[in-house]
Amino acid sequence: MLKPSNLILFQGDSITDCERVRDDSKHANNPRGMGRGYPYLIASQLLAERPAEGLKFQNFGISGNRIVDLYARFREDALNWKPDVLSILIGVNDTWHEFMRQAGVPVPKYERVYRQLLVETKEALPEVKLVLCEPFLLRCGVVGDAWVPEVDQRRAVVRKLAREFNAVLVPFQEMFDAAVKQAPAEYWAGDGVHPTPAGHRLMATTWMKCVLR
């Protein structure tokens, strides 16, 4: 899927953001701009393995984003950069913000806005390769039982959109469900949402397996 000189751009919320330095994100392959999570791990491995290919990586995730926040900034923070590969992970805050402060995004609206975002992406960048990542939860930390069925519905939306837009699907929930059989949920994501270093490493490995196969 990746070709020489490709620009791979990551979008999402805090899981993708992971304390990146905003201004440095404007420059491809800047380590401070990549944050310290799965986008950085993906970029560092592929740049080391494929030094002659001129791959470029950028991270524009923003902590706290819901689908509506991502849509509002998508032209500036994604389309205008004309990526060749666009990876999106969004959805957990659409649930979290509802349970924490009644500011979430209902599942039907999540699907409607996400689909419109993808329609506009393909209109602007018809050759872009899309990578849609499942939102996920682990049953620990801040995560309550009531969160799970709603995030399951968002996962179903992402799977549907991946089929509809011929995107690569990255099954992060399935990955973590397997991981908790090896170590407790807190080992992979202390609060149930934000991955630990081990969790981010799993995400990077799974993303590459899905995208590079």
Q: Active site residue: 5, 23, 27, 191, which one?
A: 191
- Are 1 and 212 spatial neighbours (Cβ–Cβ below 8 Å)? yes
Asked whether residue 126 is domain-assigned, the answer is: yes
Asked whether residue 91 is domain-assigned, the answer is: yes
Give me the amino acid identity at 50.
Answer: R
Render each residue's pLDDT in the chain as its tens digit; 213 residues: 899 999 999 999 999 999 999 999 999 999 999 999 999 999 999 999 999 999 999 999 999 999 999 999 999 999 999 999 999 999 999 998 888 888 899 999 999 999 999 999 999 999 999 999 999 999 999 998 999 999 999 999 999 999 999 999 999 999 999 999 999 999 999 999 999 999 999 999 999 999 998
Asked whether residue 2 is domain-assigned, the answer is: no
State the CATH number of the domain containing residue 56.
3.40.50.1110
- Which pLDDT belongs to residue 186? 98
- Structural domain of 123: 7-212
191 is catalytic: yes
- Are 2 and 8 spatial neighbours (Cβ–Cβ below 8 Å)? yes
- Which pLDDT belongs to residue 98? 87
- Which pLDDT belongs to residue 101? 85
- Which pLDDT belongs to residue 213? 82
Domains identified in the chain, total number:
1
pLDDT tens digits along 77-91: 999 999 999 999 999
Asked whether residue 1 is domain-assigned, the answer is: no
What does the alpha-carbon distance between residue 76 and residue 144 come to, in Å, rounded to a whole number?
Answer: 35
Q: Active site residue: 17, 87, 194, 200, which one?
A: 194
CA distances from 197 to 30, 203, 204, 206 (A): 20, 10, 11, 14
Asked whether residue 67 is domain-assigned, the answer is: yes
Closest to 90 in 3D by CA, of 33, 142, 16, 36: 16
- Which pLDDT belongs to residue 82? 98
84 is catalytic: no
Asked whether residue 57 is domain-assigned, the answer is: yes
194 is catalytic: yes
Sheet holding 56-59: strands in order across? 56-59, 7-12, 85-89, 129-133, 168-170
Asked whether residue 92 is domain-assigned, the answer is: yes
- Are 40 and 34 spatial neighbours (Cβ–Cβ below 8 Å)? yes
Q: Active site residue: 13, 14, 17, 200, which one?
A: 14
Runs of H (alpha helix) within the chain? 14-17, 38-49, 67-77, 92-101, 107-124, 147-164, 172-179, 185-188, 197-212
By CB atoms closer than 10 A (0-12, 13-18, 19+), residue 212 is: exposed
144 φ, ψ (degrees, to nearest 5): -100, 160
